[in-house]
Chain A
Amino acid sequence: MEHKIELKNIEKSYDNEPPVIKNLNLNIEEGSFTVLLGPSGCGKSTTLRMIAGLEQETKGDILIHGRSMKDVKPGDRGIAMVFQNYALYPTMTVKGNIEFGLKNSKVPKEEREKRIQEVSKSVGLEEYLNRKPGALSGGQRQRVALARAMVKHPEVFLMDEPLSNLDAKLRTQLRSDLIELHNKLKATFIYVTHDQIEAMSMGTHIVLLNKGKIMQQGSPWEIYHNPDNVFTAQFIGTPPMNIMKTQEINYEHTSFAEAAYMGFRPEYGVILQDGKLPEEKGLVMKGKVITHEMLGTETLYKIDTPHGRIQVKLFDDSQAVDGQVSLFVPHEKILYFDAQEQRLR
């Protein structure tokens, strides 16, 4: 598949300070829904803004369709961007906001009208075209921002945490709207977020960043089930993966002698009722239940063990367990990491 966007040896620093992004190499596939994910300050927004041309890279090159974007203005890159705070022009009506880019691109009036009708219909804004953004709700403003991007028929959509200012319910709805939109438009989406649930639910490809470096990239499945390092294992998943120091645990079936850490996802832990050990191979720990939270389909247990606090998710939990318990983790669900926190395979 052709690479839509390539970032080559990108470095970014501000005012002679140490670089926030160092030697970043990234390929973004045509038609993908790529999510740049990471904690705040990891450089994900900066990366997006460099692709948009709003920020100049200190070193390296950005290519769109194989063409270097050096000296190409943001408006000429074939991209559209949705900002976190929408960045609507408060003095223009909804229609004015959507139309502004088209007018600047000298799209004829008839064509403009047609496109505005089309796009406002598809995001459900027809009744609000003559209102100012100030008279709209957060969700409606977000739709205007989306419409403003869509109407330009860009090949690449850049989205900088576009859902973070919305309430939880609306966020869930817009999440599926965006997936639908991506399927319909077949354009390339690059989406920045710190919310791993957004990333997992929408992305076809996730790029996990930390301190300006790519920690891992791959499909949501890959990132969740096959983490490359402790950071990925703990950043992805709610609650995060349980990580323990290997030397504190006497686990006779250890697969790697050099392992410094071992971990397992909370949903693979089993609380042994009546203390009976299962027949399969696995890790057994003793601990004390600190809390249990009933979350609907699952119950989340926090258990203090000699190796630290462990979180376990139980799905079949008709009776809450308290006090001292034995905890079992199946052998094949345990992952190992070396002293540099890199995965051992």
Chain B
Amino acid sequence: MSNKKIVKKILPYLMIAPAMVTSIVFLVYPIIYMFYLSFYNWNMIGNKKFIGFDNYVSLFSDPEFMQVLINTCKFTFWTVAGFIILGLGLSLWLKSNTKINRFLQGIIFTPYVLPMVSIAFVWMWIMDTDLGLLNYVLDIFGIDKVKWLADPNVAMYSLIIVNIWKSAGYYALIFLSALQSIPKYLYEAAELDKSQPITTFFKVTLPMLSPTLFFLTLTAIISSFKVFETVNVMTDGLNNTTTIVYYIYQYGFRYYKIGYASAVGVILMLIVSVLTIIYFAVLQKKVHYQ
């Protein structure tokens, strides 16, 4: 083989090498290492001790882990529902391209730009049982104080509200651009077809939005499953608010049970993968692509 030919063969690999190296070092290797660690008992200092599936066995026999799974599912369900319903509602409301609407679009998007930690702190103040704004407003209407972050029956929903508040504007904005890309003549045709607004929404608008809806739901589910900052800042996982990632953090970096935390990480990855596969398999058939 001549030198030229060798260069021609190697050059493409050289070109993609930086990207390949980065993804192997930061993506593939950590995943493999996580699998590896999940079979060991290790506290980050001493020697690793191989224990087989023991981490998984104790994981599934731990009632706390089951509760964590339930918490995460609950968080995901309500957050995703909130994102989609509120996002879609806001986008329908702000659809017409007027000055005030463009201004409002900016307003509803603002929370998304702010760091989650700052938002969490602000909301901690708003939701404070004694000094918070929310209870102050409730008090005006003569309603009893709610322990927004301290009541195990309420705390999770408070976190859900904060998360929805932060990101609904982002979802609204994406829905909005999808709505505005639906050709106007379809609505005119629907009008001539005597379609009532509600029928037009379900028969014309929603099907046209289905690719966007599909994409947003999927990404919302995945991001909700990985929630961490809100829990960490606002409740420290107390009052029934521990979610999977927070649980991993607790076991890894508070109790230094790296093997156990890795096993939970593996489970989280499996859950997200399975959800993604199911979602693609079931829902993609119903999505309309042009």
Binds A, one of B203-211, B218-226, B274-282: B203-211
Chain B 150-191 interface 0/1 with A at a Cβ cutoff of 8 Å (1 = within): 000000000000000000000000000000000101101111
Given A90-B208, A91-B207, A91-B208: A79 touches B192 (CB 8 Å cut-off): yes
- With a cutoff of 8 Å between Cβ atoms, the chain A residues found around residue B191 in the complex are 53-54, 73-75
Q: Quick check: which of B43-51, B63-71, B109-117, B194-202 contacts chain A, the rest being far away? A: B194-202
B199, chain A: closest CB distance, angstroms? 6
| Interface size class of chain A, counting residues whose CB lies under 8 Å from the partner chain | 20 to 34
Residues of B within 8 Å of A101, CB to CB, are: 192-195
Against B, the Cβ 8 Å flags (1 = close, 0 = not) of A78-111 are 0111010101111110000000110011000000
CB distance A104 to B193 under 8 Å?
Answer: yes
Interface residues on B, range: 20 to 34
Contacts A74-B192, A79-B192, A104-B196 hold; do A87 and B185 have CB atoms under 8 A apart? yes
Q: Which residues of B contact A104 (CB under 8 A)?
A: 193-196, 199
B193 pairs with A75, CB closer than 8 A: yes
Cα A31 to Cα B237 with chains together (Å): 76
- The distance from the CB of A309 to the nearest CB of chain B, in whole angstroms, is 42
Q: Of residues 274 to 306 in A, which have CB atoms within 8 Å of B's CB atoms?
A: none
Does A71 lie at the interface of the complex (its beta carbon under 8 Å from any beta carbon of B)? no
Say which residue of A74, A81, A88, A90 sits within 8 Å of B290 (CB atoms): A90
Docked-complex contact A76 and B203, CB < 8 angstroms: no
Q: Does B288 contact A (CB under 8 A)?
A: yes
B203's contact among A81, A83, A100, by CB below 8 Å, is which? A100
Answer yes or no: A134 CB below 8 A from chain B CBs.
Answer: yes
Bound together, the chains give a CA A53 to CA B193 distance in angstroms of: 12
Residue of B nearest to A49 (CB): B188
Provide the residues of chain A in CB contact with B188, threshold 8 Å.
Answer: 54, 74, 81, 83, 87
Is the pair B290, A83 in contact by a Cβ cutoff of 8 Å? no
Task: Output the least CB separation between B211 and chain A (Å).
Answer: 11
Residues of A within 8 A of B199 (CB): 104
Main SS at interface, chain B: helix
- Whole-angstrom CA separation of A246 from B242 in the bound complex: 95
Closest to B194 in A: A75
Q: Is there a chain B Cβ closer than 8 Å to A52's Cβ?
A: yes
How distant is the Cα of A54 from the Cα of B195 in the complex, in angstroms? Answer: 14
Q: How far is the CB of B136 from chain A (nearest CB, A)?
A: 46
B192 touches A81 (CB 8 A): yes
Q: Are B192 and A134 in contact (CB under 8 A)?
A: no
Beta-carbon contacts of A320-331 to B below 8 Å, as 1s and 0s?
000000000000
By the criterion CB–CB under 8 Å, are A90 and B195 in contact? no
Distance in Å: Cβ of B214 to nearest Cβ of chain A: 13
C-beta contact mask, A152-173 vs B, less than 8 Å → 1, else 0?
0000000000000000000000
A85 / chain B contacts, CB cutoff of 8 Å = 183, 185
Q: Which of A52, A88, A92 touches B192 (beta carbons < 8 Å)?
A: A52
Alpha-carbon separation in the docked complex, A52 to B191 (Å): 10
Does B193 lie within 8 Å of A100, measured CB to CB?
Answer: yes
Distance in angstroms between the alpha carbons of A85 and B183 in the assembled complex: 11
Q: Which of B185, B195, B210 contacts A100 (CB 8 A)?
A: B195
> Whole-angstrom distance from the CB of A301 to the nearest CB of chain B?
44
Report A194-230 residues with CB < 8 Å from chain B CB: none
Instruction: Compute how far the CA of A101 lies from the CA of B195 in the bound complex, rounded to whole angstroms.
Output: 7
Q: Whole-angstrom distance from the CB of B247 to the nearest CB of chain A?
A: 42
Per-residue 0/1 for A330-344: is the Cβ within 8 Å of any B Cβ (1 yes, 0 no)?
A: 000000000000000
List residues of A (20-46) whose CB comes within 8 Å of B's CBs: none
Q: Judging by beta carbons under 8 Å apart, are A83 and B193 in contact?
A: no
Q: How far is the CA of A116 from the CA of B203 in the complex (A)?
A: 19
- Asked whether, in the complex, the Cβ of B192 is within 8 Å of the Cβ of A89, the reply is no
Which 7 A/B pairs are nearest by Cβ-Cβ distance? A75-B194, A91-B207, A101-B193, A104-B194, A87-B189, A87-B185, A91-B288
Beyond A76-B194, A91-B288, list 6 extra A-B contacts (CB 8 Å): A52-B192, A75-B193, A75-B195, A81-B192, A87-B186, A91-B207
Identify 5 residue pairs between A and B in the complex whose beta-carbon atoms are under 8 Å apart, listed by A's number.
Answer: A75-B194, A79-B192, A81-B188, A89-B203, A105-B194
A interface residues (Cβ-Cβ under 8 A, vs B): 52-54, 73-76, 79-81, 83, 85, 87-92, 100-101, 104-105, 134, 148
